[in-house]
Amino acid sequence: MKSNFILGMCLLFLIQYFVRSEWLQLVLAVCAVIAFAGSVTRARTVPRIFSLLMFVSGIALTALKGLGIEAAAQGVTSNLPLLTLLVLVPLLSIPFKMGGFFDSILAYLKRYRHSPRRMFAGITAVLFVLGPILNLGSIRIVHDLLKDLRLNAAFLSKAYLIGFSTTILWSPYYAAVGVTLLYLNVSIGDYIRYGFGLAILFLVAGNLLFGVWSRKREREEGRESEGGITAADRKRMQRLPFIIVFLMLVTIAAESFTHWSMLVLVSLLAILFPLTWVSVSGQWSLLKNFVADYRNKAVPIMDNEIIMYISAGFFGQSLRETSFGDGISQFMTNIAQVSFLWFALFILVAMICVTFVGIHQVVFVTVFATQMDPAALGTTKEILAMVIMLAWSASSVLSPVNPINLLVSGLVKRSSIQIGFRDNGLYLALVCVMGITILTIFH
């Protein structure tokens, strides 16, 4: 019942985006409040506390400014584009499951099991390609494919976090990029050349760093016999990059042509891509099973994200034109006027600190991005977006309470601190220095 309600709310948002009806906006606001109330009791303690504080603060600030119900409705629904993207994007994985692409990926990875460097490159490349489509699910799927190979835990934590952290920098299908571009009003076509370039650079840097690390350790040997590569596997692996690139190009071209929100376009694509796939393949009964599995398993576990996104959007909107919001804006401007390098370092350190105590990055970005003026900071919207995404990526790996860190920690059976600092600390230090240096030069 709850999953159907959340999905219905997302579909209603897509309708409202094109209809632009005031009464639908109010209905959406009511739906968002109900979704918040239904999820807050099921969420983890830290997200629950911060979400309630932000939601109550949003109500108080809206009332103190003397704004009406329309302003409150706009605030409550301000992050619904992001929430819709988060809920619907997993649908993109269905055609890949139906087409047997994951089995072919496993066959190729098994081929490199006796070569740690090639295996590492293969895992990070797979996460780089699948991460934009499957988000966190890509890590779980890759781990399920590799669990019988009994690979070293430190090896896996490096591969998973290095491969996936690059996705955060560039993918228009990832919520981090979506919320940042939404609040800074940046086109994905303008942003992706920066994000994709840095992501490739960091992916190469991570593999080179692993090459140095692996020389100091014994060569890993697997226990399974190597799987054979069939003609069907080769065909699927040849098609996979073209499908991913096609989806990206469709998104960018559609945004350029229609000027619709990138979040809306990706959400629509998440619905249309599986329907188009089964229209060609005729696997309608199989689609029904996968959709039922998605509705029953993927949607119900999004309680933390639902309450954080709704409350953060409400709180961020309510801060506008307040003395506190103006103070944040002036503070950021003062730092940027001293030095853009200091400004970038402040964003990086501040986001790592807030995520370390359990505050989701979306809270930081919603509050700060809504108060930032790139022109006043002396930079461009694209560079500012890249600084935020670099900080988001680093904090996701380091924070012991971040979902990405917690997922990998649970899969490889190592503590969150170990996989964040010990296994990937040197890599993060390297790419943060590289990233801030490059962005400062471009700035």
- Whether 120 maps to a domain, the answer reads yes
Asked whether residue 171 is domain-assigned, the answer is: yes
Which pLDDT score is estimated for 160? Answer: 94
Q: CB–CB of 132/167 below 8 Å?
A: yes
Q: What is the pLDDT of residue 164?
A: 92
Q: Does 443 map to a domain? A: no
310 neighbors 54 (Cβ within 8 angstroms): no
Question: Average pLDDT, whole number, for the chain?
Answer: 86
- Tell the residue number behind the tokens 């219905």, with chain if given: 8
Give dist(CA 76, CA 54) in Å, integer.
11
Is 254 domain-assigned?
Answer: yes
pLDDT at 222: 42
- Tokens 């919603």 correspond to 366
Find the Cα–Cα–Cα–Cα dihedral 261, 68, 57, 81, rounded to 10°. Answer: -10
What 3-state class would DSSP assign to 50? helix
Reported as a single tens digit per residue, the pLDDT across 53-68 is: 889 988 998 888 877 7
Q: Is residue 312 part of a domain?
A: no
Q: Please spell the DSSP secondary structure of 107-163, one letter per residue.
A: HHHHHTTT-HHHHHHHHHHHHHHHHHHHTTHHHHHHHHHHGGG---HHHHHHHHHHH
Q: Which residues of the chain have pLDDT under 50?
A: 218-226
CB atoms within 10 A of CB 19: 11
Q: How far is Cα 183 from Cα 88, in angstroms, rounded to an integer?
A: 20
- Helices 175-184 and 188-215, interaxial angle, to 10°? 140
* Predicted confidence (pLDDT) per residue in 131-180, tens digit: 877 777 788 888 887 877 778 888 999 999 999 999 889 888 887 888 88
Q: With respect to residue 306, please indicate whether it lies within any of the assigned structural domains.
A: no
Q: Is residue 141 part of a domain?
A: yes
| Segments forming the whole domain that contains residue 194 | 91-300
For the chain, the domain total comes to 1
- Which candidate, 3, 4, 14, 32, places its Cα nearest to that of 270? 14
What pLDDT was estimated at residue 221? 44
Are 347 and 394 in contact, with CB atoms under 8 Å apart?
Answer: no
Taking a C-beta distance cutoff of 8 angstroms, is the pair 443, 379 a contact? Answer: yes
Contact (Cβ atoms closer than 8 angstroms) between residue 145 and residue 411: no
Is 162 contained in some domain?
A: yes
Ramachandran area for residue 66 (φ above 0: left; ψ -120 to 50: alpha; else beta): left
